A and B are shown apart, each in its own frame.
Chain A
Amino acid sequence: MNPLLAQFLAEAADLLTQVDEGLLQLERDPGDPELVNEVFRAAHTFKGSSGLFDFPELTRLTHAAEDLLDAVRSGRLALDSGMADDLLAAFDLIRGWLAHVTVHEQLPATAGPAAQSLITKLRGPLGGESAPAASDSAPAPSAVAVAVRGPDWLDVFDAEWLEKTASWLSTTSATMRFVRYTPDEGCFFRAEDPLHLMSQVPAPAVLALIQPFEWPPAETYDEYQCLIGFALATRAAVGELNHLFRYVPDQVEIVELDGDAIRRHLSGEEPPEPPPAVVAEAVVQSQAENVELARDAYAILAAAQRSLTVDSPSGARLSAVARSVAAAASALGVPVEAEEPDIESLTARVATLLAETPAPAEEPPPVVAPPPAERAPSDRARTDDPGGQVGTRILKVDQEKVDHLMELVGELNVAKNGLTFLADAAEEEFGSRVLGRRIKDQYSGLHRIAEELQAAVMDVRMLPLSVAFSRFPRLIRDLSRRLGKTVELVTEGEDTMADKDVIEALGDPLVHLVRNSLDHGIETPAEREAAGKAPAAKITLTAVADGDAVIVEIADDGRGIDADRVKRKAYEKGLISEDELESLTESDAVDLIFRPGFSTADQVSDLSGRGVGMDAVRASVEKLGGTVSMRSQFGRGTSTRLRLPLSMAVTQVMVVSVAGQRFGIPVDLVVETVRVPGAELGRVLHSDVVVLRGEVVPVIDLARALDMPWTPDPAADRAILIVSLHGQRVGLLVEQFHREVDVILKPMEGLLAYAGEFSGTALLGDGLVLLVLNMKEVLSLAARAQ
């Protein structure tokens, strides 16, 4: 892709976000001029950059949006939600186009018609769309320059009014548009109504009548013949007028007049011949040239005189001097006849020439070209244009590059870990303890650097949660409008940082939860008032850092979850037994929502209620290594809490071995490691259990679950790793515990992708590939094996 286009696309994303946010804020606080300016500037920058590429529809659409924003900015229009809808729709369309451009480097084929309908909408509040040809940046062909003198028909206006208007226009250096409409006599038969057309002119100042020279007598009057015409003074733009009168262009005359032109019309004075600027400049130019030429000629003559008196040239040199003297003389306007040069006569001629022609002034008169006054401020405006990247300390980097850096850090970690094995080998194989120790020293230095490097790269990948939250103001606005609910969004802790992958992966679950809240949780304003609540509901999005995790909470003050109803539904669907129906606590009942296939909605809406919901949320959060929990108070609201690791790039795993094979288990899940004598393992209901501090914990034979042949030594203690999954403790019977390692987890790919019991692979320092277990799958495998 053309790098310029790539940069445009990268910047466009930012600008679009800026526009979106600004518009939403503006809708809430329509009077804020700074906000309008911000949105306008973003749209303006966007239009400007889009002009570099061959996307005419894009430029036209942004142009229309910009015009509307400009009208809002100048206070001519107040932004209402309809206009905000149109503007948002326009930028949404653009976002879609840009996605297409990113892939195909051209706009989609449907861009033209889609843009046109939006342009018409956007131009609506401005008094109609200017003709499509005029909406291009090229000036409209029908544009009317400010006329020097008013047309004759200006007489139909009241002279006194014209006088007042003229002085007003002069004082404010404004102009006004004057329209004359002389309808065709038969226009009534074409269902035209000239008066109706005149009544449509925006911002009319005064309407005047053009009467026929002679009215027909009443008896012979034909009421279907249009005899009158109109003249109108208006502050509407020429573009608006052209649009309005687009079907009767030949019957309409539009002039733009300033105060002086009207006055000239009133006094009957001819417009003064404008000083032809070009000619004046040319005169100045030629004078300047003359002066310069004269000076040169004078210098030549002086040089010739010196040469004649000092060198006494002869032959070719003399004739050369003679030729230059002749040229200088003709330049000075005293041509001399060329004759056979002889030194005396030439010297005399030079002397007379120098005496006759006055020495020109040392300096030519300064060329009086007035400095273009407007240029200076516009140049200045350009330097502080936010589009200029000069001086910014922010570097925009493709994410792939950072990802690659992260991979290299991972490899460095692996290579570094290899040193400990080397140190062991130095000691054991080559018998050099000193070398072993030195390698270990070297290792610790390298380890520190690798850790810092890793932290630095991670820091680059960190983004504030505001990135994930940013789409919600828009989503909530759209959905609440659709559902007829009033919702206020409060976000807290947007500054909390988390890894980019976490932020991105968080998007879908959050959207789902917010949708659920809006659709099920929040009542209509009427219901809320009946329940004694404020009519506007509140959704709170909160983010807090909690050690190496981030907690994101979505809370609403809606109707909450009816635990009894959830239990009944779950029972009807056969998800719980009759006993459970009786015994389940309220919080356990709320947890039922996370069961696959569960939905309390009686009706399927297009937002939610299809039963693919909370289980998907839980699955995707767990895939990130996080947890979901939900609390609800019936009638008071619901809050859902997501706990996610701050970073997914590096995973800490505990290495254990089973049947001689090493496996990794995410440290987050590990509770403790215990060794118990084989005799202490009990059996309850066909499964092994171990009693730990009075608690019965089921034990799973990992080797059996993974289908690996291994029989534990009956005499040795059993090594059991206690893990916690969904709040439940499970023991894993393993062969041996090893240490914890930081690894970069690579997902299972290719032929191994089907192996759900592994969440990924990691490379160890000794070059071994470690399989990291997906505990959830392992547990279900174990359940099937029993």
Chain B
Amino acid sequence: MPLELNEHTATLSDVVTVDEVEPLVAWLRATAKPKVNLRRCNHLHTGALQALLLFQPRITSAPVDAFLATQVLPLLRGSSGVSSAESEPP
């Protein structure tokens, strides 16, 4: 089950597909101070990422997946889009 929606926290795991976007957005809309756990998430659909960007829930734990952790998480945390950790030259 990629999406587990509780009272304050949503846990996203495995591959979050476009099908999960709608319930996620509905939950984000309805939840006052939403928290999202991305720890076991391996891929986030663009629609889900977009929803997270818009509603800006608190990310409680960082994803283990390398691409999500190094490239996507900074997008969710800083508006500049580049975290200091990734500012090493290639």
Whether, in the assembled complex, B18 has its beta carbon less than 8 Å from a beta carbon of chain A, the answer is: yes
Interface residues of B in 44-89 (CB under 8 A from A): 44-47, 49-51, 53-55, 67, 71-72, 75, 79-82, 86-89
Contact A215 B54 (CB under 8 A): yes
Contact A158 B81 (CB under 8 A): yes
Chain A interface residue number, banded? 35 or more
A-B contact count (CB 8 A): 92
Which residues of the partner chain A approach B29 to less than 8 Å between Cβ atoms? Answer: 218-219
When C-beta atoms are compared, the residue in chain B nearest to A200 turns out to be B67
* Contact partner, B90, options A176, A183, A195, A218, Cβ 8 Å: A176
- Inter-chain contact B46/A158, CB cutoff 8 Å: no
B12 interfacial contact with A, CB 8 Å: no
Q: What are the interface flags for B23-57 relative to A under an 8 Å C-beta threshold, 1 for contact and 0 otherwise? A: 00100010000000000000111110111011100
User: Which residues of A sit under 8 angstroms from B4, Cβ to Cβ?
Assistant: none
Find out whether the CB atom of A164 lies under 8 angstroms from the CB atom of B87: yes
Most buried by B among A167, A176, A188: A188
Partner of B46, one of A161, A168, A194: A194
Q: Which residue of B43, B44, B53, B71 contacts A207 across the interface (Cβ within 8 Å)? A: B71
Assess the A226–B87 pair: CB atoms within 8 A: no
Contacts of B22 in A (CB 8 A): 223-224
Q: Is B21 an interface residue (CB 8 A)?
A: yes
Query: Do A161 and B82 touch (CB < 8 A)?
Result: yes
- Which residue of chain A lies nearest to B15 when distances are taken between CB atoms in the complex? A196
The verdict on A204 contacting chain B, using a C-beta distance below 8 Å, is: yes
Within the complex, what minimum Cβ distance (angstroms) separates B18 from chain A?
6
Kindly identify which residue among A199, A206, A228 contacts B86, using a CB–CB cutoff of 8 Å.
Answer: A206
Provided the pairs A157-B81, A199-B43, A224-B21 are in contact, do residues A207 and B75 lie with their beta carbons within 8 angstroms?
yes
Q: How far is the CB of A196 from chain B (nearest CB, A)?
A: 6
Say how far B49's CB is from chain A's closest CB, in angstroms.
6
Whether B90 contacts A205 by the Cβ 8 Å rule is yes
Report the Cα distance A377→B54, complex, angstroms.
Answer: 58
Alpha-carbon distance between A504 and B22 when the two chains are bound, in angstroms:
72
Contact with B along A146-178 (1 / 0, CB 8 A): 000000000011101100110111000000100
8 Å CB contact of A193 from B45, B55, B67, B71: B45
Name the one of B47, B71, B86 contacting A226, with C-beta atoms under 8 angstroms: B47
Compute how far the CA of A235 lies from the CA of B88 in the bound complex, rounded to whole angstroms. 14
Contact between chains at A196 and B87 (CB < 8 Å): no
Please, which residue of chain A has its CB at the minimum distance from the CB of B86?
A206
Distance, CA A209 to CA B80, complexed state (A): 8
- Known A-B contacts A158-B80, A218-B29, A224-B21; the reply to A188 vs B46 at CB < 8 A is yes
Smallest Cβ distance from B21 to chain A, in angstroms?
A: 5
Whether the Cβ atoms of A164 and B46 lie closer than 8 Å is no
In the complex, A184→B47 CA distance in Å?
Answer: 13
**B-side interface size class:** 20 to 34
Partner of A223, one of B51, B71, B81, B88: B51
| Chain B contacts for A199, CB-based, 8 A | 43, 67, 71
Report Cα–Cα, A107/B25, bound state, in Å: 58
Task: Assess the B87–A188 pair: CB atoms within 8 A.
Answer: no
* A211 lies within 8 A of chain B by Cβ: yes
> In the complex, are the beta carbons of B46 and A218 less than 8 A apart?
no
Min CB–CB distance A176 → chain B (angstroms):
6
Contact of A161 among B45, B75, B87 (CB under 8 A): B87
The answer to whether A221 has its CB under 8 Å from any CB of chain B is: yes
Task: Point out the residue from A168, A183, A204, A215 that lies within 8 Å of B71, measured CB to CB.
Answer: A204
Write the nearest CB–CB distance from B80 to chain A, whole angstroms: 5
Task: Tell whether, in the assembled complex, residue B81 and residue A208 are in contact, meaning their CB atoms are under 8 Å apart.
Answer: yes
* Residue with the greatest number of chain B CB neighbours at <10 A, chosen from A160, A223, A224: A223
Query: Bound complex: CA of A215 vs CA of B82, how far in Å?
Result: 20
* A227 adjacent to chain B (CB < 8 Å): yes
Which residues does chain A contribute within 8 Å of B55, judged by CB atoms?
A: 218
**CA–CA, A195 and B52, complex, Å:** 13
Q: Is the CB of A164 within 8 A of B89?
A: yes
Closest B-chain residue to A229, C-beta based? B46
CB neighbours of A223 from chain B (8 A): 21-22, 25, 47, 50-51
Evaluate contact between B54 and A206: CB separation under 8 angstroms. Answer: no
Contact (Cβ within 8 A) A209 B81: yes
Min CB gap A374→B, angstroms: 26
Within 8 A of B (CB), among A469-496: none
Chain B nearest CB, measured from A218 CB (Å):
6
Q: At the interface, yes or no: A355 with Cβ under 8 Å from chain B?
A: no
Chain B residues contacting A193 (CB-CB under 8 Å) are 18, 45-46
Q: Which residues of B sit under 8 angstroms from A715, Cβ to Cβ? A: none
* A204: B residues at CB distance < 8 A: 67, 71
Q: How far is the CA of A764 from the CA of B22 in the complex (A)?
A: 99
Q: Which of B29, B44, B82 has the largest count of A CB atoms less than 10 A from its CB?
A: B82
Task: Kindly list chain B residues whose C-beta atoms are within 8 Å of the C-beta of A233.
Answer: 90
When distances are taken between beta carbons in the complex, the residues of chain B under 8 Å from A109 are: none
- Of the candidates B18, B25, B72, B89, the one whose C-beta lies within 8 Å of that of A221 is B25
Q: Which residues of B contact A195 (CB under 8 A)?
A: 43-46, 49, 72
A587 to B80, CA, bound (A): 84
Asked whether, in the complex, the Cβ of B87 is within 8 Å of the Cβ of A158, the reply is yes
Residues of A near B47 (CB, < 8 A) are 188, 223-224, 226
Q: Determine the residue in chain B with the shortest Cβ distance to A196.
A: B43
Closest to B23 in A: A223
Bound together, the chains give a CA A167 to CA B89 distance in angstroms of 9
The verdict on A183 contacting B80 (CB below 8 Å), with A195-B72, A207-B72, A228-B53 known, is no
Are A165 and B81 neighbours in the complex by a CB distance under 8 Å? no
Digitize B6-17: 1 where CB-to-A-CB distance is under 8 Å, 0 elsewhere: 000000000000
| 8 A–B pairs (Cβ distance < 8 Å), ordered by A | A157-B81, A188-B46, A196-B45, A206-B71, A211-B79, A223-B47, A226-B47, A227-B50
Residues of B participating in the A interface, judged by any CB pair closer than 8 Å: 18, 21-22, 25, 29, 43-47, 49-51, 53-55, 67, 71-72, 75, 79-82, 86-90
Q: A165-B90, A221-B25 are in contact. List 20 more A-B contacts (CB 8 A).
A: A156-B81, A158-B80, A160-B87, A161-B86, A164-B88, A168-B90, A183-B46, A193-B18, A194-B46, A195-B44, A204-B67, A206-B71, A207-B75, A209-B75, A209-B81, A215-B54, A223-B22, A223-B51, A228-B46, A233-B90
Q: Write the residues of chain A forming the contact surface with B, with a CB cutoff of 8 angstroms.
A: 156-158, 160-161, 164-165, 167-169, 176, 183, 188, 191, 193-196, 198-199, 204-209, 211, 215, 218-219, 221, 223-224, 226-228, 233, 235
CB-based closest 8 A-B pairs: A158-B82, A168-B89, A207-B71, A208-B81, A223-B25, A195-B46, A161-B87, A205-B90
